[in-house]
Amino acid sequence: MSRTIDRKKGPAFQALEGINFIPVREVALPNGIEVSLLEAGSQDVSKIDWVFPAGAVQAGKPLLASTVGNLLLEGTATRSSAEISDTIDFYGAYLNAQTFHHNTVVTLVCLTRELPHLLPLVEDVVRNAAFDAREVDIYLNKRRQEFLLESEKVRTLAARYFGSVIFGADHPYGKQLDLSHFDTLGREELIAFHRAAYTPLGCRIVVAGQPGKDIVALLTRHFGGSDWQAGNINLNGVEEGLPSPEKFHLLEKDGALQSAIRIGRPMFNNTHPDFIPLQVLNTILGGYFGSRLMTTVREEKGLTYGIGSSIVSYPKGGMWVIASEVMGEMREDATAAIFEEMQRLIDEPVSEDELEVVRNYMLGELLRQFDGPFSSSDIYRTLWEYGLDYRFYDRMVEVVKTIGPPDLQALAARYLQPGDFYTVVAGK
Amino acid sequence: MIEIHKHQLANGLRVVVHPDLTTPLAAVNLLYDVGARDEDPSRTGFAHLFEHLMFGGSVNVPSYDDPLQRVGGDNNAWTSNDFTNYYVTLPAGNLETAFWLESDRMLELNFTPNALEVQRKVVIEEFKQRYLNQPYGDMPLLSRPLAYKVHPYRWPTIGQDLSHIKEATLEEVKRFFFTHYAPNNAVLAVAGNVVPDEVFRLAEKWFGDLPRREVPKRSLPQEVAQTEARELTVRRKVPADLIHIDFHIGRRTDPDFYVNDLLSDVLSNGPSSRLFQSLVKDENLFSDINAFISGDMDPGLFTVTGRLMPGVPMDKAETAIWEQLQRIGNEGLAERELQKVKNKIESNLVFSEISFLNKAMNMAQYELMGDANEINKEIDYYRAVSTGELQEAARQIFSRTNSCTLHYLSGGEQ
């Protein structure tokens, strides 16, 4: 090969037009449970999420909601914990429960051909979990060990405390788990919460993959019956957060070689009109490898292995948070550098060149996020929680393509004032 | 079943392609046949430091990340004891940008003292974040030298000691590059919305001119068979005692890899596995326990590791592990139990084929081990394993003389 090519100049490239969303089919089961189906993909696999209004908010105290979620798999009236795990493993499946602030999501991932073997089991664990006293003990003792282990990590200490600084220590988004919660959680509470929250009231099912033509009939058989009574869970009820009066918080940890930093502020959630434009500003600040924070704090100063920022959305609020673990003795330099980067976005317009990189990176990232039915269904499920749909991302594509440097500078002046930010440090 | 197309350039670069038209994206994965095992014992952590330097710009392109992000791409890399792997995902229409960037950094890096200084600091922070400032983080620094006395697997990829990274010079960095980074020492794998012939044309265009380099034949000191049990006890400031037992096994490319992998699954893959059911659920001795094999290119390890519940004496926990390990050797196991772990392997294989990036990474690794088409035969290798083979493997592997035990106790000062 002796053809000469110009290695200094890259090949031509195309800007992205938009995203081809996987279409969503909506059906309702006879008892009213809404089902969304995203039928796509090259493999005969299925992912099914059952969303229950069984989050930490409804539980009203830490530990209760997640314990109920995890104990679903540890035995029912007719199946032992060992039988349940043996069945799941034998059919090569994964079944787990994840608890969030406002819900618990039970997720089954399996080969589609095994659905008829697995759905009866999911029905049983969701409806008839037994909360056997011995299983409760085993679970809580294990969980306590995990809690103690996590408590040794500066990153965890900073993240936990940051929530209470932003929302207040008594707010559902800010309340922290501590050891006393393990001692006071009783089996009766678990049973009562399960009875109230794991019912067709507020339940929703999201199916993704190639679940086969019988899927609605199967779901109807196991989850659509009128014999399954609605519970009495409160679906709302979160007050405004009350941030800490202090802007700086230091949690000292002996012998820490690095300090974990969280810098952020209370925000609104993704239903606010500024939320999408702020995603662009956040990406510039700390949302990708080439971001200002990565460039300054990691690539120029070498103070950290990684730093990032994101705007977190909850159904009743949100926060902007910058997170990093930095060289312990240089923590003040790192913090100062972070605030300087925020100020720079207020003082100077972003260049068109940098903005072009961010635009294309964000559009590519959207393509990656929506690649395949599984990840699309996670996004769709979350949108639904906020009363949103795919139009949210159509609008994001539009904003990413058209937002200009003056818009971004105005957003920075409004939302990135250093005086509005709180700092939590764990370490030294 | 993954459809695979292969082509080799005159300079030795192997190219493998898998078209997957269900995605608008493509993955470009470049796997180099160099890892921590190829390091000088006084310069450990070098392959990984080098991975960081690969993002500092190349001879014709001052920034690697900027042009890639500009076309909607994203990238990352990892280093293991055996390999260094770089990967990109991007909109398939902009595939050629990845070829431009990857070929230029294979041609020559932009070696600057400043880039070395900064990445040296970043890697030192990574060392602290992952190994020193985490409970149990220093375990690999303790267990590896216990299991390996002469082979370079005795140090972890991050390196044996921070001083090796602190003392690295730019000359050494250059020498490492020209010794290991070469078209004839790498595999390029592309998966996604691509046409194989077009990928081969781009490979010829951007990589065809790169010079073949003299890559020294690997000749690493091999371990002498272990003849007596090894033990190490340390005390650290951690919330619970931990036990970590390594047993010597064979290579990734040995036929018994599949037997050993299934044996580790019987012990610890999934909530119904033996160690979890017996030691966590029934006897409440451990809060967490795992068994896994390393799958290394040189003879590797079968590891069993668990954190003890408070108040459980170490010797009781250790005895209970041994009973479980030896039970398989003594009593064998039922067909259904083996079938269960085979089913899990099979479904995991199908799940992994959802991701075009996974497929690109796997193809590259299989091609480097010999032939990318072996991916499609894997499931048959697993299916062919019998309960008798598992029993025999358990007998061979789980002996005291083959064990290296680390007792990592709580109650220390640091």
Per-residue model confidence as pLDDT tens digits over A99-120: 999 999 999 999 999 999 999 9
Q: Please identify among residues 341-360 of chain A the ones whose CB lies closer than 8 Å to any CB of chain B.
A: 356-358, 360
- Scanning B136-175 for CB atoms below 8 A from A yields none
Residues 376-405 of B with CB under 8 A from A: none
Query: 3.40.50.150, 3.90.1150.10, 3.40.50.1100, 3.30.830.10: which CATH number matches B230-409?
Result: 3.30.830.10
Could you give the CA distance from residue B111 to residue B117 in angstroms, rounded to a whole number?
11
Which residue does chain B place closest to A17, by CA atoms? B91
Q: Is residue A241 part of a domain?
A: no
Question: Of the candidates A82, A142, A290, which has its C-beta nearest B66's C-beta?
Answer: A290
Cβ–Cβ gap B100/A356 under 8 Å: no
Question: Looking at the structure, do residues A256 and A213 belong to the same domain, yes or no?
Answer: no
A273 and A173 share a domain? no
pTM for the predicted model, two decimal places: 0.94
Cβ <8 Å between B287 and A142: yes
Tokens representing B132? Answer: 């020193």
Q: What share of chain B is helix, strand, coil (3-state, %, to 5)?
A: 45, 20, 35
* CB-based contacts of B375-381 (< 8 A; 24+ apart in sequence): B375/B2, B375/B4, B376/B1, B376/B2, B376/B4, B378/B349, B379/B345, B379/B346, B379/B349, B381/B255, B381/B258
Best residue of B65, B99, B112, B129 to probe chain A, by most A CBs closer than 10 Å: B129
> What pLDDT, on the 0 to 100 scale, is given for residue A235?
66
Query: Between A1, A13, A374, which is nearest B97 by CB?
Result: A13
Residues in a beta bridge with A260: A325, A426
Using CB atoms, which residue from B239, B310, B346 is nearest to A92? B346
User: For the packed helices A275-286 and A352-369, what is the interaxial angle rounded to 10 degrees?
Assistant: 110
Residues in B 59-98 with any Cβ partner in A closer than 8 A: 59-61, 65-67, 69-75, 89-91, 93-94, 96-97
Percent over 70 (pLDDT), chain B: 100
Please check whether residue A120 lies inside any domain of the structure.
Answer: yes
For residue A112, the enclosing domain spans 25-223
Following DSSP, what letter does each residue of B233-267 receive, concatenated?
EEE-S-SS-EEEEEEE---TTSTTHHHHHHHHHHH
CB contact under 8 A, B69 and A361: yes
Indicate yes or no: CB of B271 within 8 angstroms of CB of A13.
Answer: no
Q: Which residues contact B329 (CB under 8 A, 6 or more apart)?
A: B391, B394, B395, B398
Same domain? For A277 and A202 the reply is no
pLDDT single digits (tens) B381-412: 999 999 999 999 999 999 999 999 999 999 98
What is the average pLDDT score of chain B? 96
The full DSSP string for B18-70 is EE-TT-SEEEEEEEES--GGGS-TTSTTHHHHHHHHTTS-BSS-S-SHHHHHH
Q: What gap in Å lies between CA A417 and CA B11, rounded to an integer? A: 56
Is the pLDDT assigned to residue B332 strictly greater than 70? yes
Is A226 in the B-facing interface, judged by CB distances under 8 Å?
no
Largest CA distance in chain A: 78
Q: How many Cβ pairs closer than 8 A exist between chain A and B?
A: 218
Whether A277 is covered by a domain: the verdict is yes
Residues of chain B neighbouring A145 (CB-CB closer than 8 A): 239-240, 287-288, 307, 309-310
pLDDT of residue A1: 45
Residue by residue, pLDDT tens for chain A (428 residues) are: 445 789 999 999 998 888 999 999 999 999 999 999 999 998 999 999 999 999 999 999 999 999 999 999 999 999 999 999 999 999 999 999 999 999 999 999 999 999 999 999 999 999 999 999 999 999 999 999 999 999 999 999 999 999 999 999 999 999 999 999 999 999 999 999 999 999 999 999 999 999 999 999 999 999 999 899 888 887 667 888 899 999 999 999 988 889 999 999 999 999 999 999 999 999 999 999 999 999 999 988 889 999 999 999 999 999 999 999 998 889 999 999 999 999 999 999 999 999 999 999 999 999 999 999 999 999 999 999 999 999 999 999 999 999 999 999 999 999 999 999 999 999 98
Q: How far is B341 from chain A (nearest CA, A)?
A: 7
Residue B76 has pLDDT above 90, yes or no: yes
Q: What CATH number is given to the structural domain containing A406?
A: 3.30.830.10
In a shared domain, residues A318 and A386: yes
Strand B84-91 relative to strand B230-235, pairing: unpaired
Which residues from A are below 8 Å from B204, CB to CB?
Answer: 1
Q: Are residues A186 and A77 in the same domain?
A: yes
Are residues A327 and A261 located together in one domain of the fold? yes
Report yes or no on A77 lying in a domain. yes
**For residue A347, is it within any domain?**
yes
A190, A223, A256 — which closes off a domain? A223
Residues of A in contact with B205 (CB under 8 A): 1, 3, 5
Q: What is the pLDDT of residues A216-249, one digit of tens each?
A: 999 999 999 989 988 888 766 788 889 999 999 9
| Residue A127: inside a domain | yes
* Among candidates A14, A138, A357 on the partner chain, residue whose Cβ is nearest the Cβ of B66: A357
pLDDT, mean of residues B273-293? 97
Mark whether A180 and A99 lie in a shared domain: yes
Q: Is residue A262 part of a domain?
A: yes
CA distance A356 to chain B (A): 7
Cβ–Cβ contact A81 with B under 8 A:
yes
pLDDT tens, position by position, B105-157: 999 998 889 889 988 988 988 898 888 888 999 999 999 999 999 999 999 99
Domain ranges in chain B are 5-207, 230-409
The two domains B5-207 and B230-409 share their CATH topology (first three levels equal): yes
Token pair belonging to B391: 């029993």
Same domain, A289 and A160: no
Q: Is residue A198 a part of any domain in this protein?
A: yes
| Integer Cα distance of A191 and A131 in angstroms | 7
- CATH fold, domain B5-207, is Cytochrome Bc1 Complex; Chain A, domain 1 (3.30.830)
Last residue of a domain, one of A179, A208, A223: A223
Cβ within 8 Å, pair A10-B97:
yes
Asked if A258 and B133 come within 8 Å (Cβ–Cβ), the reply is: yes
Which pLDDT score, from 0 to 100, does residue A2 have?
A: 46
**Co-location of A202 and A320 in the same domain:** no
> When comparing pLDDT for A43 and B248, which is higher?
B248
Do A205 and A293 belong to one domain? no
Rounded to whole angstroms, how far apart are CA atoms A325 and A331? Answer: 9
CB contact under 8 A, B284 and A138: yes
ipTM (interface predicted TM):
0.93
Question: Is residue A373 located within the same domain as residue A319?
Answer: yes
Q: How many domains does chain A have?
A: 2
Q: Are residues A258 and A211 in the same domain?
A: no
Whether the per-residue pLDDT at B322 is higher than 60: the answer is: yes
Per-residue pLDDT of B174-194, as tens digits, reads 999 999 999 999 999 999 999
Spatial contact of A38 and A207, defined as CB atoms under 8 Å apart? yes
Q: Which amino acid is present at A135?
A: E
As beta bridge partners, residue A249 has: A424
